C-alpha cells in the first residue's frame, strides 16, 4: 500500500509517499506499527518522529478519516494526517 505523507511526516522520506508491503486487509493499527518500525530502522529510533506517528490520524482513499480498526485494501492509498495547525 502507499502511505501519502503530509505535514511533519514529510520528513520521513524524500518522496511524498512510502510504500509498505502489508498483508492483505491489514488495519490502520498494523500500519502504525509498520511506520514505527520504518522509523526505528531508518531514523535511529527518532522519538519525535514516533510521537508524530502515534498522534496522527489516517485518511482513506475515499477522503475519510478512518479508525485504527479500518482494514486497508490492496493497493489502497492512505494518507497520514499529523496534528494540524492551519489558518
* 36 vs 57 by CB, closer to another protein: 57
Which are the contacts of 41, defined by CB distance < 8 A and separation ≥ 6? none
Q: How far apart are CA 42 and CA 34, in angstroms?
A: 12
The secondary structure element, H or E, covering residue 57 is strand 57-59
Q: Which of 22, 33, 34, 59 binds another protein (CB under 8 A)?
A: 59
Q: Which of residues 10-29 bind another protein (CB under 8 A)?
A: 10-11
Give the position of cell 526505528.
Answer: 40
Number of amino acids touching another protein (CB under 8 A)? 19
Q: Tell me which stretch binds another protein (CB under 8 A): 5-13, 18-26, 29-37, 69-77.
A: 5-13
Amino acid at each position: 500500500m502507499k502511505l501519502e505523507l503530509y505535514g511533519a511526516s514529510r520528513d520521513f522520506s524524500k518522496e511524498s509517499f512510502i510504500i509498505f508491503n502489508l498483508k492483505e486487509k491489514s488495519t490502520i493499527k498494523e500500519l502504525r506499527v509498520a511506520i514505527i518500525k520504518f522509523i526505528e530502522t531508518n531514523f535511529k529510533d527518532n522519538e519525535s518522529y514516533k510521537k508524530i506517528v502515534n498522534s496522527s490520524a489516517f485518511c482513506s482513499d475515499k477522503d475519510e478519516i478512518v479508525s485504527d480498526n479500518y482494514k486497508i485494501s490492496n493497493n489502497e492509498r492512505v494518507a497520514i494526517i499529523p496534528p494540524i495547525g492551519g489558518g
